[in-house]
Amino acid sequence: MVEFFFQAIGIAVIFLLGCVGETLTEKSGHLNLGIPGIMCVGAAGGILGVVVANNANGFLSILLAVIFAAVFAAIAGGIYAFLTVTLRCNQNVTGLALTIFGNGFSSVFINNIIKIEGDSGHGAMLSEAGNKFFLAHLPFSDLLGWFGKIFLGHGVLIYVAIAIAVVAAIVLRFTRIGLNLRAVGESPATADAAGINVTAYKYSFILIGSAIAGLGGMLYVMQLMHGIVGAELAGTVEGIGWLCVALVIFTLWKPALAILGSFIFGALYIFPSFLNVFFPDATFTFAQLKLFPLIPYVATIIVLVVTSIIGNKENQAPAALGLSYFREDR
Amino acid sequence: MHQLELKNITKTFGSVVANNNVSLTLDQGEILSLLGENGCGKTTLMNMIAGIYYPDSGSILINGEEVSIHSPIDAFKYGIGMIHQHFKLVDVFSATENIVLGYKDQEKFNIKKAAAKVKEIADKYGFIIDPRKKIYDMSVSEKQTVEIVKVLYRGANILILDEPTAVLTPQETKKLFDVLRKMKEDGKSIIIITHKLNEVMEISDRVAVLRKGEYIGSVNSKETTESQLTEMMVGKKIELNIERTEPKGCVDRLIVNNLTTIKEDGLLGVDHVSFTARSGEILGIAGIAGSGQKELLEAIAGLAKIKEGSLDYIEPHSGEWVDLCSKNPRQIRDLGVRLAFVPEDRLGMGLVGNMDLVDNVMLRSYEKGRPVILDRKTPGKLTDQIVKDLEVVTDSVHTPVRRLSGGNVQKVLVGREIASVPKVLMAAYPVRGLDINSSYLIYNLLNKEKETGSAVIFVGEDLDVLLALSDRLLVLNGGKVTGIVDARTVTKEEVGLLMTKTVESTVEE
Amino acid sequence: MAREHKEPLFHIVKRMNMGGTSKVAIRIVSILIGLIIGAIFVVALSPTSHNFFGFFGSMVSGISSTPRRLWLFLLEGSLLLGVSIALVPAFKMKFWNLGGNGQILVGCLATCAVMFYLGGKLPDPALWPIMLVASVLAGAIWALIPALFKAFFKTNESLFTLMLNYIAAILIGYFISLWYPTGTGSMSPLPHGALPTLGNTPFGKYFLPTIIFFIVAIAIYFYLRFSKHGYELSVVGESENTARYIGINVKVVTIRTMILSGALCGLVGFILSGAVHQMMSVNMDSNMGFTGIMVAWLSHFNPAVMILIAYFVTFVTRGMSQVNTDFGFTDEKLSSVISGIIFFLLIASEFFVSYRIVWRADIQKVMDKIAYPFVKACDSTDSLIKTIKVKLTTKKQPAKKEAE
């Protein structure tokens, strides 16, 4: 049971980063369906960072992984931003193209990494030193029993991820920047008239959101897969990316709620692996086991439907989500 | 030295010249009215001061110094704040959040402190405002208050108000004017865009007049008369020369009794409205904008949710009563009720901008003829007919209607509606934005329909037109009927009073 | 004057109307740029070959060197065309159906279920109609679910359909495991129910499944352009208010159109599983639901352009497989990278079609000089086409004009 919660948190932070990244992007009025692709690119960047650090030391590995992941993802986000903000292209179409590109790019990239690093059967094993550092948990966690394991037993980046979500929540809720950003997503014309640089806000938060989501992709490889790079990676990360997009709706565009929501998604995601813990007496056929991954998708659909039926004004998507802003439109 | 001076400003949009060589001045502590008809370039001119548009040529001087205003933020820098006609507010934000939006003072961002400051400004000038109330919970006048406080919060010295009274009740207008006077005493300069002459005389020190994008001149309010202003505004005096025949063979065609409708936001649209529309007669509907005109017509056309009351159409031949309540437009059509409706929102409701003329003309009739497959031939002929009869200017009948000019768009719409030989014809603001010739064409079409025995319901904004065209006049205020009068005998002043009369309280002034 | 410098470098205005030739030229240029970037990318990274022009040769040979390759190219392009045309009715209604993948997959699932459960119990010819009906129904239902919620509760359809893609893929995995409990999670071709072919040549195998979507595309074109249903859905898509004003039941049209859209995707699944593979897998949709969205959108729902773009995309995918071999790569996903780049450029070219950049006066002069030959060439082509058109129409209708 302790292991279940421990692992749920491990996967949850990936959802959390993807979700916070997409939330920030959507708050600027841009539905970025390229987030799954961006997470793939982020994963590729993280891998490159670790490879470049070349086992030098753990800290450098982690630092380069973070920087490369964020920069790679931001560049991918930059393509999206240029097309949708400056060239005012359709957001859905651009996002899908980016996801196709991002998945392809990281697949090609990862294949080459596997070739270079050598295939151990399940893929390439990256940097030992870095890997240890990624997984090194906080002090005292061994002393505090289950509490220590669940809450303190994770790699340092997991706490960084939660901190990012908290900061995002605070920025959105309590700062001038957050207020301006929300205004841009709700009504760019209003924000423009109020003297806010709409384009700058859109660009900044698409890039920041992409970088954060990219970290999520990187965490998947370095944290959850323990640095093992397999050929399936891009596909799995893309799948997680789509769940992140869903999670934004599930958490009503609130990064603070995203912390809770991502934990629920994380728990649902790994639930199938822990059936014997929850149902020690039940046996499941091979086929039945294949049905459990349905749960998070079905849950999202339910939330989607329920929120749309309730239709509260406060908990809706930003009003200008998906629309291009053109000042001289009259 | 003037506080604000515009020199030879010109602005064009494509081939349309919105402002041509306009020069204007504003002094400190002055209320200037900018007067002009719809579409004469008042708003465009002001938008250039507020940084929304950038002039093609000409210069703007503040306190004698030439400035370049590229954005609203530049405008704020020079102490200029504009209150737009369409409020620029974020619906899900509170009043304070909207007010501080985009404003960078040196202090740390603190919404509570800001709210206190908002309250302070409101008290100083006599506004009533709840800083924490969300915009979507506010009435129109509350939203306007937020807009004005927003500008003051930024320390604006020059305030521009774009038709601030168009959406206000008389009481609210009075309150607004009181506030404006207090601001003037405080040394603020104010430009108020309007086309209402009585307000010009009441509030402003000086009046500047624009006509068709050109600056005509300015006069002191005390030294002018309404008729002089009118002349400046419209050029030579236009005597309305609308033929009005005596109604013949009037019978009741549409009987509306105690009708109450609910709008999408849950508020009442019209409130216990009763009247009868008769064949061979034009029933004019007057009222300030947003008094329930749109809601009334939409309710009759089967587009509104009816809470109570009845709506009956009387079949011309059999005299049978047909209940129209809670029927959608198609069901109404299927009942054989010949109802035509020219809505206010031409390209958003009456027509589809991206479709060509033929496809728009067949909107009403596409179900007819053979099953499954569309018949474009009959509507095509009808379109040719409409283009010919109403002199629609278009490259071909296959041009998307959004490419036509406003007048031609309206001709297509009215032509289609009349083509169904309606027994009831409803038209909402059918001449808005049209030039004189097109307007007269529309008036004549309405008259022709009346003479052929239709019951015509005409919603207008220009009282002169309403009085010259209608046989009877129904006046709405706040969704209620404040009077039904004979348009031949009633005076303009009497109608004006009815338009501002509230049913609960006594008539003001 | 100080003001001169403060004037922004350029601003963007909406274009009212662009000449047809310029529209085509801009797109062709962006495709060429995309291919050149792709070629440079491949040549730079290739461990074996550095022949820049060889890239294009490999692309072409990838689709045409053997009859089988040519037919696979024709088939895949036609499938993509099928998906794109299936999505068009929904998009015309401004319904973002991102669920094409899922709708194809349930079509595959339904087809295979019929083949698996009834195969051998009924003769093959009796299976075919059942497979067809089952797959079309499955696709329709998969689209109907989000349509119902959209119609009645305004539930966001793009995210709903997106989720249904994954559910469909998971269901496929489930059924494969159910049917082959000891298997590896993949499926071998089913023995019964394969759709009829015209012999064992590539032509025989692939002609029928290829031609069917051309027929579907033409049918949908006529449905949209000339049927009352098509007219209603365009009105709903352009302006819901107008639809209400006329008395079109928006809910009915939404639901009806989505059923059609899903059913056609289901039909693609039927062809994939019934005619091409006789089995199913979780990624049998090859992401055509997403690619199809781009094809449909980039072609502005014009069926002729749609055919061109669908085949161009297929050309890139299939051509890249040959590039992979010739240039010593092992990544099948390399084609996604190249097609991603081309998509970006095509999407970007849409901007230049609908907007115009107005430069500051001094820069405009330079820009005009640069663009002059291009604009001039396009304009003269436009006028040439116009004169030809006028000549053709006047030749055709002199009698009519005189009669008037």
Share of chain B above pLDDT 90, in %: 39
Predicted local distance difference test score (pLDDT) of residue C3: 40
Same domain, B196 and B258: no
A90 close contact with C: CB closer than 8 A? yes
* Region at B239 (left for phi over 0; alpha for psi -120 to 50; beta for the rest): beta
Predicted local distance difference test score (pLDDT) of residue C401: 43
Predicted local distance difference test score (pLDDT) of residue C7: 59
In tens, the pLDDT along B289-305 reads: 778 899 999 999 999 88
What's the rounded Cα separation, in Å, for the pair B29 and B50? 19
What's the rounded Cα separation, in Å, for the pair C203 and B157? 80
B158: DSSP letter: E
In A, minimum Cα distance to C339 occurs at A101
Same domain, B278 and B318: yes
**Chain B residues lying within 8 Å of C242, measured CB to CB:** 348-352, 363
User: C171 falls in which pLDDT band (50, 70, 90)?
Assistant: very high
B241 lies in some domain: no
Do C235 and B363 make contact, defined as CB atoms within 8 angstroms?
yes
pLDDT per residue, tens digit, chain A (330 aa), is 788 888 888 899 999 999 999 999 999 999 999 999 999 999 999 988 888 887 667 778 888 989 999 999 999 999 999 999 988 899 999 999 999 999 999 998 888 888 877 766 555 666 665 566 666 666 666 666 666 666 666 777 888 899 999 999 999 998 999 999 999 999 998 888 787 889 999 999 999 999 999 999 999 988 877 777 877 888 889 989 988 998 998 888 999 999 999 999 999 888 888 877 787 777 777 777 788 888 888 888 998 888 888 877 777 788 888 888 877 653
B243 lies in some domain: no
**C182: distance to nearest CA of chain B, Å?**
52
The shortest CB-CB distance from A308 to any of C156, C164, C177 is to C156
A297 close contact with C: CB closer than 8 A? yes
ipTM at complex level: 0.88
Q: Which of A192, A252, A328 to mutate to test the interface with B (most CBs of B within 10 A)?
A: A192
A236 close contact with C: CB closer than 8 A? no
Compute the C-alpha angle B398/B404/B408, nearest 5°: 105
Predicted local distance difference test score (pLDDT) of residue C402: 41
Compute the C-alpha angle B483/B489/B493, nearest 5°: 60
Number of Cα atoms under 13 Å in the Cβ half of residue C160: 25
Instruction: Determine the length of chain A.
Output: 330
B23 lies in some domain: yes
Token pair belonging to C293: 């969205």
Predicted local distance difference test score (pLDDT) of residue C164: 94
B240 lies in some domain: no
Predicted local distance difference test score (pLDDT) of residue C202: 84
The shortest CB-CB distance from B349 to any of C8, C242, C247 is to C242
Q: Which residue has the higher pLDDT, A155 or B24?
A: B24
The arithmetic mean of pLDDT across residues C149-175, rounded, is: 91
User: B36 falls in which pLDDT band (50, 70, 90)?
Assistant: confident
Q: Which domain holds residue B289?
A: 249-338+421-503
Do B101 and A319 make contact, defined as CB atoms within 8 angstroms?
no
User: B358 falls in which pLDDT band (50, 70, 90)?
Assistant: very high
Other C-beta atoms within 10 Å of C165: how many?
24
Nearest to A199 by CA among A38, A87, A330, A321: A87
In B, minimum Cα distance to A183 occurs at B90
Predicted local distance difference test score (pLDDT) of residue A181: 95
| pLDDT score of C4 more than 90 | no
Helix (H, G, I), strand (E, B) or coil at C287: coil
Q: Which of C15, C242, C358 to mutate to test the interface with B (most CBs of B within 10 A)?
A: C242
Q: Where do we find the tokens 């693609």?
A: C268
What's the rounded Cα separation, in Å, for the pair A256 and A215? 18
> Where is average pLDDT lowest: A212-216, B70-74, B110-114, C283-287?
B70-74
| pLDDT score of B211 more than 50 | yes
| pLDDT score of C313 more than 80 | yes
Q: Where are the domains of chain C?
A: 2-26+355-399, 63-326
DSSP, residue by residue, A253-307? T-HHHHHHHHHHHHHHHHGGGGHHHH-SS----HHHHTTTTHHHHHHHHHHHHHH
A74 close contact with B: CB closer than 8 A? no
In tens, the pLDDT along B460-490 reads: 877 778 888 999 999 998 888 999 999 888 8
What's the rounded Cα separation, in Å, for the pair A178 and A188? 14
Percent helix, strand, coil in chain C (nearest 5)? 75, 5, 20
The arithmetic mean of pLDDT across residues B22-36, rounded, is: 90
User: C131 falls in which pLDDT band (50, 70, 90)?
Assistant: very high
User: Is A26:A238 a contact under the CB 8 Å cutoff?
Assistant: no
Do B101 and A186 make contact, defined as CB atoms within 8 angstroms?
no
A329: DSSP letter: -
In tens, the pLDDT along C248-257 reads: 999 999 999 9
For chains A and B, count residue pairs whose Cβ atoms are closer than 8 Å.
66
DSSP H or E run through B226? helix B226-234
**Which CATH number belongs to the domain containing residue B84 in this structure?**
3.40.50.300
The arithmetic mean of pLDDT across residues C276-303, rounded, is: 89
In tens, the pLDDT along C225-238 reads: 999 999 999 999 99
Token pair belonging to B197: 């002459």
Same domain, B216 and B262: no
End-to-end CA distance of chain B: 39
User: Is C167:C102 a contact under the CB 8 Å cutoff?
Assistant: yes
> Of B234, B264, B292, at which residue does a domain stop?
B234
Nearest to A239 by CA among A311, A287, A293: A293
Predicted local distance difference test score (pLDDT) of residue B506: 36
Same domain, B362 and B329: no
Do A195 and B73 make contact, defined as CB atoms within 8 angstroms?
yes
> Of B371, B398, B420, at which residue does a domain stop?
B420
User: Is A41:A105 a contact under the CB 8 Å cutoff?
Assistant: yes
Same domain, B16 and B103: yes
| pLDDT score of C399 more than 60 | no
The arithmetic mean of pLDDT across residues C43-55, rounded, is: 81
**C173: distance to nearest CA of chain B, Å?**
41
B92 close contact with A: CB closer than 8 A? yes
User: Is B21:B58 a contact under the CB 8 Å cutoff?
Assistant: yes
Total structural domains in chain B? Answer: 3
Strands B321-323 and C355-359, by their bridges, are unpaired
In tens, the pLDDT along B52-69 reads: 888 989 999 999 899 988
Q: Where do we find the tokens 């497959």?
A: B373
Do B349 and C245 make contact, defined as CB atoms within 8 angstroms?
yes
> Of B234, B258, B283, at which residue does a domain stop?
B234
Nearest to B465 by CA among B167, B37, B40: B37
Chains near C, with 3+ CB pairs < 8 A?
A, B
Which top CATH class is C63-326?
mainly alpha
| pLDDT score of C356 more than 90 | no
For chains B and C, count residue pairs whose Cβ atoms are closer than 8 Å.
76
C330 close contact with B: CB closer than 8 A? no
What's the rounded Cα separation, in Å, for the pair A19 and A253? 9
What string of H, E and C letters represents the secondary structure of B236-264? CCCCCCCCCCCCCCCCEEEEEEEEEEECC
In tens, the pLDDT along B156-174 reads: 899 999 888 877 777 788 8
Q: Where are the domains of chain A?
A: 2-310
Same domain, B86 and B136: yes
**A219: distance to nearest CA of chain C, Å?**
23
pTM > 0.90 = no
User: Is B314:B254 a contact under the CB 8 Å cutoff?
Assistant: yes
